[in-house]
Amino acid sequence: MNQAPATPKNGRRRHDREIIALAVPAFGALVAEPLFVMVDSAVVGHLGTPQLAGLGIAAALLMTAVSIFVFLAYATTAAVARRVGAGDLPAAIRQGMDGIWLALLLGAVVVAAAMPTAPWLVDVFGASDTAAPYAITYLRISVLGIPAMLVVLAATGVLRGLQDTRTPLYVAIGGFTANAILNVTLVYGAGLGIAGSAWGTVIAQAAMAAAYLIVVIRGARKHGASLRPDAAGIRASARAGVPLLIRTLSLRAVLMIATAVAARLGDVDIAAHQIILSLWSLTAFALDAIAIAGQAIIGRYLGANDEKGAREACRRMVEWGIGCGIVLGVLIVLVRPLFIPLFTSDPSVKDALLPALLVVAVSQPIAGVVFVLDGVLMGAGDGRYLAWAMLVTLAVFAPVALLVPVLGGGLTALWWAMTLMMAVRLITLWVRARSGRWVVTGATR
């Protein structure tokens, strides 16, 4: 019997199955990560306000440090996926090990730098005299977990590149559970206070890193891949990560500028801005899950020299991005009467929130395409273009945002500026995607 010819509909279904299989577990893992901080806050919050304030400052510093090095996951995913597509699993795992060794080196540097400078860092963030000692204590202990967290990022990239997003989900759930139990036990049972919360988080992070290493080492032994550090491979991983580091720093600068502008608008607007930012971050997790699927799928197709498959997958993921963006936008409008009371009962904050939330809702389809194309270009290893595109976006956004308080605009105007930022990203990424210059096939770019 002759096999039925492939049809566009069948191709879409195949891509849909791949996207769902990778994106759904990835979303679960992404949501689990911020729950670490939420658990710490819930446990430490009962110790007192100064302790909670200290935790807030230290956690902000730690999250910033980890987010800067997220390129360890992105660059590793793309490089490993290419080699998977090329059918060379030993080289794929070897590439992943280079990323893990780089993570360990960077983690050691961060620890060496942060330990002696902890008091200064806490002071720069404006900690009060009562909160500062708790922030320093938490920071000095928790920073010991940075190498483990960077290993988690790199190892997550390895597994994503191997088309496995389920294991990261299971590890994230296990880490969250262990962190919750350890926090309660050490803070209250052992009477260690905020130091107990920090040690609980460090232990949970170390356990997550160990779990990942067991999986990767098992794969390396199965396929005969070397586990030893390779200087050339580590340097190659670092070179691939630099453009993505620039991209991440530029994006962080956008968010910092937006928060600084909101603070200048007054207490009501900064309070409303923080609430909107929390919702915006939650929608970003959903869209980023599709982007993660894009990194893994596009890298694999390009590694297999399947240019047509890569283009079709890109097109289908863009459709997913638009569809998810529309759904998220509608949900924001529908749930705002339920969402807003969870965070504030202040009528003035609510009044500032409502129109700005509608702007966020309108911008979700744009964000959907941006996240997807970002993932596609990362999967293609097109980091240099992503860095330049984000620098251009920052250059456009910064003056517009800074003019908001000067021209008498409020929070809604600021979020229109944020929408402009996303629109600029959309244009730069769409131009690159349409050009086809990202389509570079082979086991390496």
Per-residue model confidence as pLDDT tens digits over 224-256:
888 998 999 899 899 989 999 999 999 989 988
Beta-carbon count within 10 A of 334 CB: 11
**pLDDT for 33:** 66
Q: How many CA atoms lie within 13 A of 379 on its CB side?
A: 34
Q: How far apart are CA 248 and CA 71, in angstroms?
A: 8
pLDDT digits (tens, 9 = 90+) for 311-369: 999 999 999 999 999 999 999 999 888 777 777 677 888 888 889 999 999 999 999 99
Q: How far apart are CA 168 and CA 31, in angstroms?
A: 12
Q: How far apart are CA 177 and CA 200, in angstroms?
A: 11
Q: How far apart are CA 162 and CA 421, in angstroms?
A: 33
* 24-28, 125-129, 383-387: the lowest-pLDDT one: 125-129
DSSP H helices, 46-88, are 49-68, 71-85
Report, in this order, helix, strand and coil percent for the chain, each rounded to 5: 85, 0, 15
Q: Long-range contacts of range 55-61, CB-CB < 8 Å, 24 or more positions apart?
A: 55/134, 55/135, 55/138, 55/194, 55/197, 57/122, 57/125, 57/126, 57/127, 57/131, 57/135, 58/122, 58/134, 58/135, 58/136, 58/138, 58/139, 58/142, 59/138, 60/125, 61/121, 61/122, 61/125, 61/139
Q: Which amino acid is at 316?
A: R
**pLDDT for 11:** 67
Closest CA to 208 of 295, 147, 163: 147
- Phi, psi dihedrals of residue 229, rounded to the nearest 5°: -65, 135
**pLDDT for 32:** 67
Closest CA to 349 of 260, 258, 266: 266
pLDDT digits (tens, 9 = 90+) for 91-120: 999 999 999 999 999 999 999 999 999 999
